[in-house]
Amino acid sequence: MPRFSHYEAALGSQLFEKVKNCRVLMVGAGGIGCELLKNLVMSGFNQIELVDLDTIDLSNLNRQFLFQKQHIKKSKAQVARESALKFNPNANIVAHHANIKDPQFSIEWFKSFDIVMNALDNLDARRHVNTMCLVANIPLIESGSEGYLGQVTIIKKGETECYECQPKPTRKTYPVCTIRSTPSSPIHCIVWAKSYLFNQLFGIPEEEDEELDKELNDENADEIANLKAETLALKRIREAMGSQDYPKIVFQKIFNDDINRLLIMEDMWKTRKQPVPLVYEELEKLKDTESQMDQTTNSNTLRDQRLWSLTENFSIFLESIKRLSTQLLAEKMTNPDASLTFDKDDIDAMDFITATSNLRARIFGIEEKTKFQVKAMAGNIIPAIATTNAIVAGMIVMQAFKVLNGDLNECKTVYCSPDRRPKSILSELLNKPNPDCSVCQSVHVTLNVNVKKATLRDFLKEVIQGHDEDEEDVCEVSVEEGGRIIYDVEYDDNLDVTFEKLNITDGKMVKVTPESEDDEKYPTVFAISHRETFESPNTWFHIDGDITSRSRTQVNSNAHKRKLDDSEIDPQEESSRKRPAVIENEVIVQDDDLIMTEDGPQRLIVID
């Protein structure tokens, strides 16, 4: 019996033929990606291209089952391909160890696929693939998981909402002064240790004076001045790195001198518990006695999963500073501008963050955390569950069957949830495009252009204004690429610069927005495709598509509506779930936009 005869019997010969011949682009080879690739090759999909930039880490092995210990530090895409071929040696899998945003993955390349499947773990890449699929008019299956939560939906140009149609959650922020002067929770201490102190001592110090000035008022002028003085003092102390007394100097500065300066500001502590400075000499005396007791009382407890004692935090703080200093000084021997960056899997960095945050927590009377807990909070770790990834990957393939069969109306947004409803698998009808979405409501066309010769002025005259005469009319549009302004009515410095010199090259996206209050005029997004020659010698441009189209997608919430079955959710009843919400577990420090966790379980920004 042929290997896939059972699939052909279940799907029908016509659909199964489409599955065999379908060209699939799969983006991401992490938790969901490993499960998905296995599902694809075992379901009869034979033409698969896989893109992933990451390499395999030890922490991946508990859920990304295509990888093993011997694969650590190797390309996820390449190893996933090799492992998947063991399930189906006849599959044609092309692996790319690359960034999906690289120019090689152009619009024409996207157009060569029949369907795209996302298994990504970051917002920026999701947005890019969403835009590319809209321009190429290729159906996209988006997915995500977070713990026991999972989600799969379909994005099809002009028929369903895109990734950008729903607003993203509002992130919870904390002022710099809270982190630096008046912490009240463990996360404040961890943020301080990771984003402030680690960077000041070993990384690239952040320029935070501007943010501090924003918080300046009559009541906190002394506090702001004090914080600026602390930062300058740390920069001077860094010059002593490598000396025998360096750990002691740092300890004395951050856990004693700085705390005593805070205590001078008596008004700050009228309604708060005063911090208690730590004394180096006292802890040095206690270290030997308490460490001996810890060896007998905690010998059977995993070090990373138990709370460290005060003197244990003290000892680990001193030792981790020595090790990190040695590492940085060694790198500076070959690169004077070298710096260290935080890595949750770096033992020395995590020892430093854990000990430092716990010592600070002790000073302010805040709950201390184990190294395991600190790593989860500082490293943006949301516990990943292999079973959830497997369910999500299965739902992706089921939705793909419907898309390939032309049954888009039968596709749904599907959720995996352990306790929100009686059923674990929930679904809702696909939403229509949001008429106010600036992404999917834009006009998407491909612009063939000689980037070496065409200038921005040529583009505005020939493509936007529709003529090439020497007129001085002001073109009332704004031109953007990758978030940077290239041109607007008050900024014309780049008019005579070529596309190539503006770094607008093959695969880039240029958005042109009319400077008009006419709500019916949407932006036009040009996908750049370099071409050396054209039929007419008098032009450097050729447009694939109609840039005059400005029609608004009409949305009727009752259109195509049918009776819901018991496992489905009415989108109108669930609308409140899609509104922006404050994410309680996410922390951003305003001075450096540090995000402590990824974008929470909201509309396809949950992650693996």
Question: Looking at this protein, which amino acid is placed at residue 282?
Answer: E
CA 53, 57, 62, 67 torsion-angle sign: positive
For the record, the structure tokens of 387 come out as 């079973």
The answer to whether 34 is annotated as binding is no
Residue 301 C-beta-side C-alpha neighbours within 13 Å = 14
Within 8 A by CB and 6+ apart from 82, the residues are none
Please confirm, yes or no, whether 411 is among the known catalytic residues.
Answer: no
Please provide residue 418's backbone torsions phi and psi, each rounded to the nearest 5 degrees. Answer: -80, -25
- Look-up: residue for tokens 């599959």? 91
d(CA 604, CA 152) in angstroms, rounded, equals 8
Give the helix/strand (H/E) hosting 49.
strand 47-51
Do the annotations mark residue 123 as ligand-binding?
A: yes
Please tell me whether 475 is known to bind a ligand.
no
Question: Does the annotation list 38 as a binding residue?
Answer: no
C-alpha–C-alpha distance, residues 366 and 361, integer Å: 5
CA distance from start to end of the chain: 37
60 is in an annotated binding site: yes
For residue 29, say whether it is annotated as part of any ligand binding site.
Answer: yes
Cα–Cα distance, 528 to 540 (Å, whole number): 12
| Residue 222 annotated as lining a ligand binding site | no
* Short-list 520, 577, 607, 556, CA closest to 431: 556
Tell me: is residue 440 an annotated ligand-binding position.
Answer: yes
600 annotated as ligand-binding: no
- How many C-beta atoms lie closer than 10 Å to residue 12's C-beta? 12
Residue with tokens 């009541």: 219
Render the burial of 430-468: b for 16+ CB within 10 Å, e for the rest. Answer: bbbbbeebebbbbbbbbbbbbbeebbbbbbbbbbbeeee
User: In angstroms, what CA-CA distances link 205 with 190, 196, 198, 335, 594?
Assistant: 17, 8, 9, 17, 13
Annotated binding residue 30: yes
CB contact set of 475 (below 8 Å; sequence gap of 6+): 460, 461, 464, 465, 487, 489
Q: Which residues contact 137 (CB under 8 A, 6 or more apart)?
A: 111, 157
- What the block records as the tokens of 344 is 């949750």
> What does the block give as tokens for 234?
């740390």
Closest CA to 438 of 549, 552, 517, 547: 552
* Beta strand 568-569 pairing with 588-589: unpaired
Run of H or E residues at 42: helix 31-42
* 122 labeled binding residue: yes
Residue labelled with tokens 């982190």? 179
507 belongs to an annotated ligand binding site: no
Is 33 annotated to bind a ligand? Reply is yes
| Residue among 34, 177, 189, 475 flagged as catalytic | 177
DSSP 227: H
Q: Answer yes or no: are the C-beta atoms of 283 and 252 closer than 8 Å.
A: no
| Helix pair angle (347-363, 310-334), 10° resolution | 140
From CA 236, how far away is CA 470, in angstroms rounded? Answer: 59
62 appears as a binding residue in the annotation: yes
Annotated binding residue 306? no
| Residue among 206, 208, 205 nearest 224 (CA) | 208
Interatomic CA distance for residues 167 and 108, integer angstroms:
29
Task: Please give the annotated binding residues for Zn(2+), written as ranges.
Answer: 162, 165, 437, 440
Task: Please give the annotated binding residues for ATP, written as ranges.
Answer: 28-33, 52, 60-63, 76, 121-126
Task: Please give the annotated binding residues, written as ranges.
Answer: 28-33, 52, 60-63, 76, 121-126, 162, 165, 437, 440
Catalytic site residues?
177
